[in-house]
Amino acid sequence: MPPPTPPRAASSAPLQSKRDSLENTPEAHNALGWLHTAHFLMSAPLLEQLPALALPEIAFVGRSNAGKSTAINTLTQQTRLAFASKTPGRTQHINLFGVGKGRSDDAVLADLPGYGYAAVPQEAKLRWQRVMANYLLTRANLRAVVLMCDPRRGLSELDDILLEVIRARIEQGLRLLVLLTKADKLSRAEGTRALSILRLQINGGEVRLFSALKRQGVAEAATLLWQWTRPESA
Average pLDDT score over residue span 92-110: 90
What is the C-alpha separation between 51 and 156, in angstroms, rounded?
Answer: 31
* Torsion angle of the four alpha carbons 83, 65, 12, 189, in this order, in degrees rounded to the nearest 10: -150
Over residues 49-87, the pLDDT tens digits come to 999 999 999 999 998 888 898 999 999 999 989 876 554
Over residues 209-232, the pLDDT tens digits come to 999 999 999 999 999 999 999 987
* Domains of the chain by residue range: 23-233
Which stretches within the chain are classed as H helix? 13-23, 26-35, 68-76, 122-138, 157-165, 167-171, 188-202, 218-228
Average pLDDT score over residue span 153-165: 90
What is the C-alpha separation between 72 and 109, in angstroms, rounded?
Answer: 9
Mean pLDDT score across all residues of the chain: 85
Least confident of 125-134, 146-155, 160-169: 125-134
Which of 3.40.50.300, 3.40.50.150, 3.30.390.10, 3.50.50.100 would CATH assign to domain 23-233?
Answer: 3.40.50.300
pLDDT on residue 9: 39
Average pLDDT score over residue span 155-161: 90
Count of CB atoms situated within 10 Å of the CB of 52: 7
What is the C-alpha separation between 47 and 57, in angstroms, rounded?
Answer: 14
Positive or negative, the CA dihedral 152, 157, 158, 159 is: positive
pLDDT on residue 166: 94
